[in-house]
Structure 1
């Protein structure tokens, strides 16, 4: 089914895969998208074929956005669609690189570059059923029995704990989200100024005098009291810009588990996303089903995988929400790479206001996964002095270490080392 050119227009040819039938190619492309995790049915495939026939295209961009409109219904699916489109429709030679991502032990570990976000998921979907090249099997008479000592090898679960979220395949990410759902984030209660009439180290003089008044003014026993305890609020500020998309989805899985698990200790869990604007997704994250919660959060936040205006979004949060969600001893989890290009607001000033409002400001930055990371970016240099803890957030293990930061407020993570590097530069 080939689009009919309109009279008077000259169309540039589009390089399609080997199969010349466009309908068959779109169907195969949709099947690959479905294997990569997109929710597609036969109706969408038919709509896509009809849309391409009706709209036509003069360049690949028109074809891309026509299929994008038909197949992508969730913001988090856009990266997978982009990678699969590039692989299937635009760059057939890219297939070799994608195969190497799936079989590093066979193809060699010296890859040309690191896989981008969603590339591994796209490779798995498109190469499903294809067998990688394997060395020739020796004849039966020449077979060699090999004993492998696996006593020091890491288990599959431990390897997944250390694997970067951005490098995970569809199956690995599904397993990782189940692991995140099992993580706990306990917190110690906060002592308030209020007292309660229970045996404790404090003398309750009012209760003591009331008892004495009932006994003719004689004090026979001192009444005691203790300070009331309450649990603090947890406030999550999650960057959902393009550079943070893979990490923000994983972190929101973790936040959903914390918000919906009984006995965690948190009084309330408030969640906000920010990219070019600030969005409150607290109500959406309270849904019991994690898929429904993230889908509702994605519909609420309209700036997924867009730009970044950290200073402006923190300004809006400090002005409109900080005092409403803080409370005594509240903790902020700030998840962002700190790469802010907006100069309309003083980012350092907004971070200082955040620190003055909350008991702890824990900054989780996925860029810390790089050994050579240095706080040279302007936004990172402005934000770093005003956080209480600076930690990585690129895999399951880094999020599991959050409990240590919460139970030990003196644990600043990598903050001191980064400050020394900043001042040294």
Structure 2
């Protein structure tokens, strides 16, 4: 960090503040490095420090990489450089408030998490306030993360829920790549490329000094998620949406549909950069959230309107539902059979598998079960992260369906799945 010159005695304090501000932006999701703080200090030497607009414009020119980051930058700038009461501002952002009947302002939970992780030290000369337990869960130790990832979504407190959202955002989930039959050029491999090697030998005056190789190309697997948002699935659906948002931000090939009493395509809404804004947009868009369930009718609408457009290219269907449907069981059975013909494979994620003695006895579950390739739990974060390896579809490893008597896959001799 550059040292202060005699003409600017306030530069050391300014340098610390600028560095702290850059760290705050990085914790809030900006892709910054320590070099950005050095560049910011150099830029501030060439402008009028007393002009607030010039300082904002100079810092924004250095850190912004897209127009979608501007609202978050403006909120962080106003909060950091104007109000010294960080804790009060952070609490105001975490807890919505309505004044005089006006709607509350839009909140940035990423900025609130970053501020919670960086509390200012107490001023010298003032007595320390009495110690009290403050459980801001943005900074988590590895043990806390493991413990939180094993908690049931339905048993999470408000603080644990905020910590889970932060953990999903920072982990950046990625699905395992699929191995295809196509070959591509590679530095090494098991398939020698004779044509490329011969062309290289011609350029080297007929000397075969180096071989060219090809290997199997890999691609991101296409995934279609059908998410039940009925009243019994409300907490689990919200957690799965945050996980899907992380996958969408990782540029995964995914389409997301919600169904309760009707089917809703929310793929475009999940492309919002901030997950809280995306989920808020979805809950406002979907009218049957936490309502009833009509799985058969929703699948019929999907099969007729979206199946041919979204299930091409050996796509995998993730059906997230507890399978509790008491109406039109024959329709549910017929539409699951139709979906089976469209999809490469179907994986059923059921939160009820969290119970050790669970057995699918309901009529709706019995109608779904014969048409799925695997039955897996979806009640905590560990079960969602397990999908990253489950969707690999490695050709060298046959895909195994979970037998009916062993929903957790603990049977040492499981029945093989039907051939895709």
TM-score bin, normalised by smaller chain: 0.5 to 0.7
Q: Whole-Å Cα distance in 2 between the matches of residues 369 and 388 of structure 1?
A: 19
Q: Cα distance, 1:359 vs. partner? A: 2.0
Q: Cα distance, 1:202 vs. partner? A: 7.8
Corresponding residue for residue 414 of structure 2: none
- 2:160 counterpart SS class: helix
Give the one of 156, 162, 170 matched to 2:158.
Answer: 170
* Runs of at least 5 residues in structure 2 that lack an aligned partner in the other structure: 1-90, 107-131, 133-141, 200-211, 412-420
Give the one of 91, 95, 98 matched to 1:41.
Answer: 98
- 2:340 counterpart SS class: helix
Matched, 1:279 2:272: no
Q: Whole-Å Cα distance in 1 between the matches of residues 300 and 408 of structure 2?
A: 24
Matched, 1:269 2:254: yes
User: Could you give the per-residue CA deviations for residues 233-280 of structure 1, whole angstroms, max 9, x where no partner exists?
Assistant: 111111111000000000000000011025xxx3x2111100000000
- 1:273 counterpart SS class: strand
Residues 35 and 345 of structure 1: is their aligned pair in 2 closer, same or farther, counting only changes over 3 Å?
farther
Normalised TM-score (structure 2): 0.55
User: Could you give the per-residue CA deviations for residues 210-246 of structure 1, whole angstroms, max 9, x where no partner exists?
Assistant: x9xxxxxxxxxxx997776543311111111100000
Matched, 1:350 2:335: yes
Q: Cα distance, 1:410 vs. partner? A: 2.1
Matched, 1:307 2:292: yes
- 1:361 counterpart SS class: strand
**8 Å contact 1:235–1:332 — kept in the other structure?**
yes
Q: Whole-Å Cα distance in 2 between the matches of residues 240 and 35 of structure 1?
A: 30
**8 Å contact 1:312–1:344 — kept in the other structure?**
no
Residues 296 and 315 of structure 1: is their aligned pair in 2 closer, same or farther, counting only changes over 3 Å?
same
Matched, 1:241 2:230: yes
Corresponding residue for residue 389 of structure 1: 374
User: Could you give the per-residue CA deviations for residues 298-325 of structure 1, whole angstroms, max 9, x where no partner exists?
Assistant: 1221110010000110111111111101
**8 Å contact 2:377–2:408 — kept in the other structure?**
no
Q: Whole-Å Cα distance in 2 between the matches of residues 156 and 227 of structure 1?
A: 40
Residues 159 and 231 of structure 1: is their aligned pair in 2 closer, same or farther, counting only changes over 3 Å?
closer
Q: Cα distance, 1:334 vs. partner? A: 1.0
Q: Cα distance, 1:386 vs. partner? A: 1.2
**RMSD (CA atoms):** 3.9
**8 Å contact 2:177–2:218 — kept in the other structure?**
no
**8 Å contact 2:175–2:389 — kept in the other structure?**
no
- 1:282 counterpart SS class: coil
Q: Whole-Å Cα distance in 2 between the matches of residues 355 and 344 of structure 1?
A: 16
How many matched pairs? 269
Q: Whole-Å Cα distance in 2 between the matches of residues 413 and 298 of structure 1?
A: 33
Q: Whole-Å Cα distance in 2 between the matches of residues 292 and 409 of structure 1?
A: 40
Q: Cα distance, 1:411 vs. partner? A: 4.1
Q: Cα distance, 1:39 vs. partner? A: 3.1
Normalised TM-score (structure 1): 0.55
Give the one of 248, 253, 259 matched to 2:242.
Answer: 253
User: Could you give the per-residue CA deviations for residues 353-405 of structure 1, whole angstroms, max 9, x where no partner exists?
Assistant: 22222222111111111122111100111111211111111111211222232
Q: Cα distance, 1:409 vs. partner? A: 5.7
**8 Å contact 1:232–1:327 — kept in the other structure?**
no
Q: Whole-Å Cα distance in 2 between the matches of residues 380 and 354 of structure 1?
A: 16
